[in-house]
Amino acid sequence: MATLIIGNKNYSSWSLRPWVLMKMLEMPFEERLERFQGPDNYDRFRQFSPSGKVPCLIEDGVTIWDSLAVVERLAEIDTRVWPETLAARAFARSVACEIHSGFMALRTACPMICRTQFKFQSASAEVDRDLARLDELLQQGLENFGGPFLTGDRFTAADAFLCPIAVRVSGFQLHLSSSSLNYCKTLLALEPMQRWILEAKAEPWVDDLEEMAARRNAVVISADNTD
Ligand SMILES: N[C@@H](CCC(=O)N[C@@H](CS)C(=O)NCC(=O)O)C(=O)O
């Protein structure tokens, strides 16, 4: 059986993508959590991941690293990873790639911290632009393909890439249109997402850099298992 190596559930947004996809598609895998220990985990993570980062998938002795590469491997195993129609598949792939390589301002200002509820206080032009673009692509998907997921009635890799963003939207009370906010709520209500968040809240580890980054632009409303 394949092993998916992930980081701390509270912080590891990249790990959440393949994890939630595999759970939603009920693909069998063993989960191995390698926790972050301080700001530099490179040498330790290099023992199992060539990039020194998580997630990575180990399958029959073959290692696949980087969340997008893992998802593409999953698509070779299960055709449900991407949507069925060409138009939906093109849109889903484009969205996944845009999220993979973009939204840097949003990512930096609002790190994924599952256990804490923040109120975002200051935005820059770059964060505003990322939020406007996010709203645009969510509305486009929901309108063109009819929801409740991004490209129609079933969860695909595009939704998996949006799950960590939904945690940020909710965790920082970010402003989006009501249809986009409803979509984020739909993702957060999925059973695997509820489980991930519950387990994230139970983790005792605190990553000071992520916590400091979040507090640069936001105040804490409530927190589970941290001060
Ligand atoms: N592009 C990579 C990025 C992976 C990444 O940055 N992972 C972070 C955790 S979410 C990591 O492993 N960081 C190493 C560290 O914090 O030492 C992917 O999609 O998998």
In the predicted structure, residue 227 carries a pLDDT above the cut 50: no
Query: Predicted confidence band at 123 (pLDDT cuts at 50, 70, 90)?
Result: confident
pLDDT at 94: 98
Q: What is the CATH number of domain 3-80?
A: 3.40.30.10
The response to whether residue 8 sits with its C-beta less than 6 Å from ligand 1 reads no
Q: What is the dihedral of CA 111, 145, 194, 167, to 10 degrees?
A: 10
For the segment 30-58, the average pLDDT, to the nearest whole number, is 96
Going by CA atoms, what residue is nearest to atom 18 of ligand 1? 66
* DSSP-based three-state secondary structure for 6: strand
Model pLDDT for residues 150-202, shown as the tens digit of each residue: 999 999 999 999 999 999 999 999 999 999 999 999 999 999 999 999 999 99
Domain positions in the chain: 3-80, 82-223
Q: What is the CATH number of domain 82-223?
A: 1.20.1050.10
CA of 54 to the centre of ligand 1 (A): 5
Which among 14, 59, 20, 60 has a CA at the least distance from the CA of 34? 14
